[in-house]
Amino acid sequence: MKEYRGKRGKGQKAETVACVFLKERGYKIIQRNFKTKFGEIDIIASKGNMLCFVEVKSGENLNFLPEWKVNSRKMEKIKKTALAFLKKTAKDFEECRFDVISIKKDKIDFIEGAFTL
């Protein structure tokens, strides 16, 4: 397996684990690390007619859940970035959803519909 270093490396490793997790559940990965002037979306995936914007968080702190890092400011950045993605692409999806994948040690929590537009 690829070696990851530093803070960004840990994030990339977590995103890779999240992609494998999603693929095992029938999701198609459309894009990783979609960036705009508003922010970045870690993973954009689809399953059927559902488009999913996925934020990945990981951590080792036993007293803190990684998903707690997705605060209101982060959600606003993700929403603006998602709207830019939708405007840029001609893909038709019946629904879209904002999910969070939280990775803590070997435990993965998948929070579908973590927040709304």
- How much is the pLDDT for 2? 54
Write the secondary structure of 71-109 as one string of H (helix), E (strand) and C (coil).
CHHHHHHHHHHHHHHHHHCCCCCCEEEEEEEEEECCEEE
Residue range 72-117, pLDDT digits in tens:
999 999 999 999 999 988 677 889 999 999 998 889 999 999 998 8
Predicted confidence band at 67 (pLDDT cuts at 50, 70, 90)? Answer: confident
pTM (2 d.p.) = 0.88
Please, what are the domains in the chain? Answer: 6-115 (3.40.1350.10)
